[in-house]
Chain A
């Protein structure tokens, strides 16, 4: 039990006010700078565009956070998202089933694929980097095979685009047209925060990342919990798949590779350690917001695209370095 307690403490410590404040302060600083620099930045339509641009990467990053806290990594989140979108396309467009079936199928497909990754890592002892790299390629290929290498459009399911693009919030608060995709991002964030902070699964997540051997020796079925965590990450990728497909009104089978790196970047900017044992969902959301605010702001300022990339890379390094310095001093 002491090991679990140790892991739990590490998790609590990481959610210290300092770290959140640092990431949050950077986000606020960026917003202030861009607002001063251009009158076009701080406008409702642009803020909504930023939030919408964050929704898919944010959800993927939440999924990636779970696995990273256990000390693992999931490189397959991007192509798994695409795979789930394609599954939704098959169920809704090729088979013509009603919308709820598509939603369940996408999330279930994500959970099953996550469970497979988890099995490879936990039972077969393949390092997570390699196991999920393999899964990334398998899923990329399968998406192309299943879709017949063409985008699948959801024209037969007119309600499908509403998942991401229409706005429940504006129905309640007129004049605040925040799209459902953003609402879903925050719902997922809330739910996963709860799981991490208040449930056994969350506790083992931190414990596995802090000292897996100690957890195992104290009689916990570490393999089972690890598989459950990868499956949960997979299911969250399924939600991301629904969001992106709904936003594009199509499942784009070739898309997805490279998205895992954006997700991982958001996770580390948010203060989650790649060596496991600590991290927060709030941090990850702030990390994802920092990335999309930065990109949107640089575009609004018409900064040349090559420099946008340089600045994004620099921000990632600065954010992680600042976090490490603070930690070392403590």
Chain B
């Protein structure tokens, strides 16, 4: 009985997979997999959109994959191994941990597969180019804007996504160092980590406000943290706290339009994806690519978020 069942199942699965395989491998275009740090987050979807745009323009095949969350270093390595097994023309890679990926990147180098790093650098000379945001400088700009909005003095706090990832560290340090260097009258009373989870960041924000009733401002260091800060401030019934966020997304954009959030730093995720694929194609063709591709960042608020320059890099 079960034999017939499994045979039927196997036939069904074969048909399904053969169909999808035929679909995926029908064209004879250059194949460039992008192994990202994440997948579900809107930011990564925007990077993917940029990569897809470049793929359409340059007539290449691009796939985009990343682990469920940014702690899963080994799952990302498995994805990298599967991508290499497909003999790609080039590879885009956003390392969760540079060192852990080195053996596989060496394999790519030996197989003459050009590697382009994106979002954050890889501590190695294997990637031909890195397309990323200068997070330290971007967070320092957030600190300057915060100082301006609170009159250069008072207490502020940070809600950061995590204390181990490169972006978490750089955004925290960029903000904190700028405040310490340039604004002696501003005191950072609390730095908390909410895993980029909106709900956790909401609770953290409420407890920070509870502990510091005279708090002037909060910086949320990524999309999830920033939305959590907005929720926390709203639930606490406060309207006098200056909030500066990071990245975009529909909820954050709405908070800025509503005036709950003063403004936010945006990277150019679409540009990151686009430049990565563009550099990969150039590398395959043997053209020289710049070592560092700065994909840029902007501060946006109610006054400029609808300008063409800014709205082009914001995502929903």
Contacts and interface: CB of A to CB of B under 8 A. Distances in A.
Interface of A: 18, 22, 25-26, 29-30, 32-34, 36-38, 40-41, 43, 45-46, 49, 52-53, 56, 149-151, 153, 165, 244, 247-250, 252-258, 292, 295-297, 299-303, 305, 318, 322, 326, 329
Dominant secondary structure of chain A at its interface with chain B: helix
6 contacts: A49-B85, A247-B74, A248-B73, A303-B20, A305-B39, A322-B2
Contacts of B24: 301-303
Contact of A301 (B5, B9, B20, B33): B20
B186 interface: no
Interface in B41-85: 63-66, 68-69, 71-74, 77-79, 81-85
B10 interface: yes
Interface residues of B, number: 43
Contacts of A322: 2, 5
A300 B82 contact: yes
B250 interface: no
Dominant secondary structure of chain B at its interface with chain A: helix
B163 A149 contact: yes
A271 B5 CA distance: 17
A37 B78 contact: no
B78 A300 contact: no
* Residue from A49, A56, A153, A292 having most chain B Cβ neighbours under 10 A: A49
Contacts of B77: 247-248
Contacts of B303: none
Contact of A248 (B33, B100, B163, B164): B100
Contact of B10 (A33, A38, A41, A253): A33
Given A33-B10, A56-B74, A254 B85 contact: no
B6 interface: yes
B244 to A, nearest CB: 24
A100 B262 CA distance: 56
Contacts of B87: 40
Contact of B2 (A53, A250, A305, A326): A326
A265 B160 CA distance: 33
* Residue from A32, A149, A254, A295 having most chain B Cβ neighbours under 10 A: A254
A299 B68 contact: no
A34 B69 CA distance: 27
Nearest to B71: A254
A297 B86 CA distance: 11
A45 B33 CA distance: 18
